Amino acid sequence: MLTKILILLKLARKLALSDVLNIADKFHKSPTIVRIFFKIFSFSFEKKKEVNFNMSEEERLSNSLQSMGTTFIKLGQFLATRPDIIGENLSKQLETLQDKLPPFSLLEAKEIIKNDLGNDVFNSIIDLSEPVAAASIAQVHKAKINDNGIIKDVAIKILRPNIKKIFNDEIDALMLLAFILEYFIKKTKRLKLVEVVFLLKEITNLEMDLRFEAAAANEYAENTKNDVGFKVPNIYWNFTSENVMTLDWIDGVSIRETEILQKKDIDPVKISSDIIQHFLRHAVRDGFFHADMHQGNIFIDNNGQIVPIDFGIMGRLDKMSKRFLAEILFGFIQRDYKKVAEVHLVAGLVPKNVPVDDLAQALRSIGEPIFGQAVKDISGGRL
């Protein structure tokens, strides 16, 4: 308990010393109690670090989150996928938290590979590069391997040293904070803070065992092998362990690089439509889908195929859930709100005593204002 409290105090200190409050105040004035909290925890006898006003507020917030460590970086990564909530400029800046963080050294990476895979496997890896991408949990190196006499270009993903202990210590401290908030501030119970933090811990711990990710990628590849225009990289099991995962190297362009895609005569609008079609096909047909499809995780290869990467967070639906999802989506597309209401009742998504016509009217009040609107014109907060 004492350890958790100390970690929580350290996190509070990091948060208070950051530029987060000043930036947040530009968008929404903070409550007095929050400002007092920041004042107390940011107190220092040292000279306060000067704010670099040459940087935009979005850049300063991104740097602040980065300096606060893994847990806050994960939060920033989530926010980067929601321009409808935080705005295009901030979302764009937070994208750097997805794959452009400071890497750990090549020497450390080599030691992890040796310890996990053994000297024989390590010595069979050719031209291991410096890190080409670094995220909050792992980083990626380019290399070559000898696969049954064939030299292949591969990406080797390696977990950050001690990342499991660092993350779990921080998340356990946040779990304690969530429990305290729910206990003393009754209104926060509806937010289910403890459940949210626990879910983040559960999901991220799965991400931190690369054997699970490799297995997910393998299953995903088998399910989608006949999907035209969609390709999942192959996993090399002899070069994969708990802390190391090896898969095909992808020569391609991230979907965030729209100008480069257009120069290659690839239509971003068509790609967007195809990604949605594939996502829904995998969810409804297979009941197994990529649940972390942000801009840094989808590439277009030299053949114009959609290539997903990073399979640490996958979603799964059972047979009935697949059917309910399909019927709800179809009902909304057809603007048949009574049908959508009926499916919600049958699926147990709302209490059975809710009048179907009243629920249909409520659904209409949500569906009609956004029907036919561009995503950028829909407010996630109001929705």
**Which residue type does 100 have?**
K
Annotated catalytic, 292? yes
CA distance 63 to 66: 5
Listed residue (277, 274, 279, 281) closest to 293, CA to CA: 279
Dist CA 379 CA 383 (whole Å): 6
**Locus of tokens 């225009």:** 229
Report how far residue 36's alpha carbon sits from residue 181's, in angstroms, rounded to the nearest whole number.
17
Q: Which of 99, 248, 292, 310 is catalytic?
A: 292
Residues annotated as catalytic are: 292
